[in-house]
């Protein structure tokens, strides 16, 4: 939840005094710690997806276990990140950041040493908890110690470094999984985490927040976790090769639905709610949230299975699949720079619809054409997808700002990003269930015995049968993603009204870069949510608008 400005104090917020003056050395230390801590999470978040097939082969994991490896990190991140900022304001931002880095580092050690899938799942849960603490604090620490002018420069440096780490994650993960071992994806996070902890604890100042929240919404966080976990557990149960009984998938989903229903009721009564209910009174805000859920769900689900499809069906090495994923970053980086002009010229509704439509074609490129399984075909598909999201992300950010009052921008951005992460969680679990059902329907006895994702153990006709079943399963996921993207087009055309066009000057390059980073589920919620409210946001907006006039 965004903290109100000093001009409009929250009745339940305790104001704290300012700390001693900050030295240039301390500012450099804060910037270094923030960049290193975020980089650790970004590299891990983007590289693990490329290594899932190698992890499954090495540990002999089932499809449902691999879905937990991919989704349990998202579960803890999505359920806990909305209270991460409140924890920083309540217990201290440097302390919360340091705890997050420490937990993430210890969990990375557990991942690197995991002897079986269940231990890896447990360690990945620890990574999610650590990420939920460190990611909201990384930019908040910068905002705490940098004055108004240099603050934008520091945020720009952080954003650039994070974008680089995000971009190199897929090829690094593919190369490590192919040439060395998937365990090195987690090992490289350990020294980064140790160095970050040393800098944070020894060289950065401890600054009290401007105010302390009345209380932390632990009840809401528990219900959010229970709801997400119940729905994910039910969906993943459907992916088990031996099948799932009614109560193995139905009962958890009922618990999840009930918990989410209770969450809505609790948030209406909570003194410091994670998601202020008044935000959802705006039809425009609800519409952009629906688009967010549809597109981020489609993207997250297909990104988990795309590398597996390329390797298992077309025998594309994981290191080459990682290179193909670089195609996503090129149009995002280039087109984002002109997002302000495009929104002023064509309007945010058209950009949302056009970008969503482009992703439909991108999904088709991933698996419906003869050249889809080649390196250049995969690279092209990722470039097309990146182009579509380059139109969507700036327009989405603008609609969020225009649909909500200025004092609620931070909370609105946080809610939208939490929904994007929740959509990713449910998509990974749901896509796994769809893939398992289609695979089981088309696979022969040998392929069914070996299981989804383990085709290297087969040969001859059995291997061909396995590859065909994998092809059918992935194509079903492609059609499902295209359907979600088409639904996003419809919502953009019919439910995004003229109020969305009120202003386009509020989303400059820094805001779009954070939008790009959040697609990999490790970015802080938004600049407006993590830099002490609308004071810093207005500062960044003014600089972006002045730059556009020049």
State the CATH number of the domain containing residue 180. Answer: 1.20.1250.20
185 with 316, same domain: the answer is: no
Task: Answer yes or no: is 131 within a domain.
Answer: yes
Total number of domains in the chain: 2
- Is the pLDDT at 233 greater than 70? The verdict is yes
Please state whether beta strands 211-212 and 14-15 pair in parallel, antiparallel, or not at all (unpaired): antiparallel
pLDDT tens per residue across span 385-425:
999 998 898 888 888 888 888 777 777 877 888 888 889 98
Average pLDDT of span 314-328: 89
Look at residue 16 in the predicted model and tell me its pLDDT.
45
CA–CA distance, 481 with 475 (Å, rounded to integer): 10
Tell me the C-alpha distance between 426 and 521, whole Å. 13
Dump pLDDT digits (tens) for 371-381: 988 999 999 99
Please report the pLDDT score of residue 162 as a whole number.
77
Residues in the chain: 550
Give the global pTM: 0.85
Q: Is the pLDDT assigned to residue 200 strictly greater than 50? A: yes
Q: Which residues pair with 293 in a beta bridge?
A: none
Give the residue from 182, 201, 220 where a domain finishes: 201
| Residue 37 included in any domain | yes
In this structure, what are the phi and psi dihedrals at residue 14, rounded to the nearest 5 degrees? Answer: -95, 125
Token couple for 93: 């931002």
Same domain, yes or no: 190 and 316: no
Look at residue 499 and tell me if it is in a domain.
yes
- Which of 329-343, 382-396, 488-502, 522-536 shows the lowest mean pLDDT across its residues? 522-536
Which of 143, 166, 201 is the endpoint of a domain? Answer: 201
Q: Is residue 323 part of a domain?
A: yes
User: For residue 114, is it within any domain?
Assistant: yes
Question: Could you give the CA distance from residue 394 to residue 117 in angstroms, rounded to a whole number?
Answer: 39
> Residue 470 pLDDT more than 90?
yes
Do 325 and 184 lie in one domain? The reply is no
Q: Rounded distance, CA 282 to CA 81, Å?
A: 23
Q: Are residues 27 and 167 in the same domain?
A: yes
As a whole number, mean pLDDT of residues 453-463 equals 84
- Write down the pLDDT at residue 482: 98
More confident residue, 260 or 270: 260
- DSSP, collapsed to helix, strand or coil, labels residue 212 as strand
Query: With contact defined as beta carbons under 8 Å apart, do 294 and 351 qualify?
Result: no
- Are 241 and 453 a contacting pair, CB within 8 Å? no
Is the domain of 166 the same as that of 57? yes
Which of the two residues, 156 and 290, has the higher pLDDT score? 290
Q: What is the average pLDDT score of the chain?
A: 82
In terms of domains, do 73 and 165 share one? yes
2 within domain boundaries: no
The residue among 178, 201, 224 that closes a domain is 201
Q: What does the pLDDT read at residue 12? A: 42
Would you say residue 525 has pLDDT above 60? Answer: no
Helix (H) or strand (E) holding 15: strand 14-15
pLDDT at 535 over 60: no
Span of 146-160, 256-270, 475-489 with lowest mean pLDDT: 146-160
Separation of CA 494 from chain center: 27
260 domain-assigned? no
Residue 281 burial class via C-beta count within 10 angstroms: exposed 0-12, middle 13-18, buried 19 and up: exposed
Say yes or no: 321 and 418 in one domain.
yes
Residue 39 has pLDDT above 70, yes or no: yes
| Whole-number Å distance between alpha carbons of 532 and 4 | 8
User: Stretch 129-155: mean pLDDT, rounded?
Assistant: 82
Residues 176, 309, single domain; the answer is no
Structural domain range at position 163? 22-201
């Amino acid at each position: 939840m965004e903290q109100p400005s000093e001009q409009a104090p929250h009745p339940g917020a305790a104001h704290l005094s300012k700390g001693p003056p900050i030295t240039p050395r301390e500012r450099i230390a804060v910037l270094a710690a923030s960049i290193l801590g975020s980089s650790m999470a970004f590299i891990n978040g983007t590289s693990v997806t490329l290594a899932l097939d190698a992890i499954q082969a090495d540990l002999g994991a089932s499809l449902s276990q691999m879905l937990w490896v991919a989704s349990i990190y998202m579960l803890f991140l999505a359920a806990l990140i909305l209270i991460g900022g409140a924890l920083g304001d309540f217990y201290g931002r440097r302390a919360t950041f340091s705890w997050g880095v420490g937990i993430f580092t210890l969990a990375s050690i557990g991942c690197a040493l995991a002897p079986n899938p269940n231990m890896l799942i447990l360690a990945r849960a620890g990574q999610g908890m650590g990420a939920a603490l460190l990611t909201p604090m990384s930019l908040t620490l910068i905002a705490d110690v940098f004055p108004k002018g240099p603050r934008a420069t520091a945020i720009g440096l952080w954003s650039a470094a994070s974008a680089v780490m995000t971009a190199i994650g897929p090829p690094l993960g593919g190369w490590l999984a192919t040439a060395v071992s998937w365990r090195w994806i987690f090992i490289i996070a350990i020294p980064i985490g140790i160095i970050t902890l040393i800098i944070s604890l020894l060289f950065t100042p401890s600054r009290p927040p401007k105010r302390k929240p009345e209380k932390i919404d632990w009840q809401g966080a528990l219900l959010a976790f229970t709801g997400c976990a119940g729905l994910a557990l039910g969906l993943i149960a459907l992916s088990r090769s031996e099948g799932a009984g009614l109560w193995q998938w139905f009962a958890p989903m009922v618990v999840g639905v009930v918990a989410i229903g209770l969450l809505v009721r609790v948030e209406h009564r909570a003194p410091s709610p994670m998601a202020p209910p008044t935000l959802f009174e705006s039809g425009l805000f609800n519409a952009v949230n629906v688009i967010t859920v549809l597109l981020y769900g489609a993207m997250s689900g297909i990104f988990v299975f795309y590398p597996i499809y390329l390797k298992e069906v077309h025998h594309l090495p994981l290191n080459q699949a990682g290179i193909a994923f670089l195609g996503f970053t090129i149009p995002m980086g280039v087109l984002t720079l002109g997002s302000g002009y495009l929104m002023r010229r064509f309007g945010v509704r058209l950009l949302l619809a056009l970008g969503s439509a482009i992703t439909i074609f991108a999904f088709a490129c991933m698996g419906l054409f003869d050249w889809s399984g080649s390196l250049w075909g995969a690279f092209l598909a990722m470039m097309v997808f990146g182009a579509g999201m380059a139109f969507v992300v700036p327009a989405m950010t603008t609609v969020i700002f225009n649909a909500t009052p200025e004092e609620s921008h931070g909370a609105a951005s946080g809610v939208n990003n939490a929904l994007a992460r929740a959509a990713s969680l449910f998509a990974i679990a749901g896509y796994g269930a769809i893939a398992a059902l289609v695979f089981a329907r088309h696979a022969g006895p040998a392929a069914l015995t070996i299981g989804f994702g383990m085709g290297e153990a087969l040969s001859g006709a059995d291997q061909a049968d396995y590859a065909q079943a994998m092809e059918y399963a992935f194509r079903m996921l492609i059609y499902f993603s295209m359907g979600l993207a088409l639904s996003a087009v419809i919502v953009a055309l019919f439910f995004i009204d003229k109020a969305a066009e009120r202003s386009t000057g509020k989303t400059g390059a820094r805001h779009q870069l954070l939008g790009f980073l959040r697609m990999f589920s490790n970015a802080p919620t938004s600049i407006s949510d993590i830099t002490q409210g609308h004071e810093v946001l207005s500062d960044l907006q003014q600089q972006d608008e002045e730059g556009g006039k020049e």
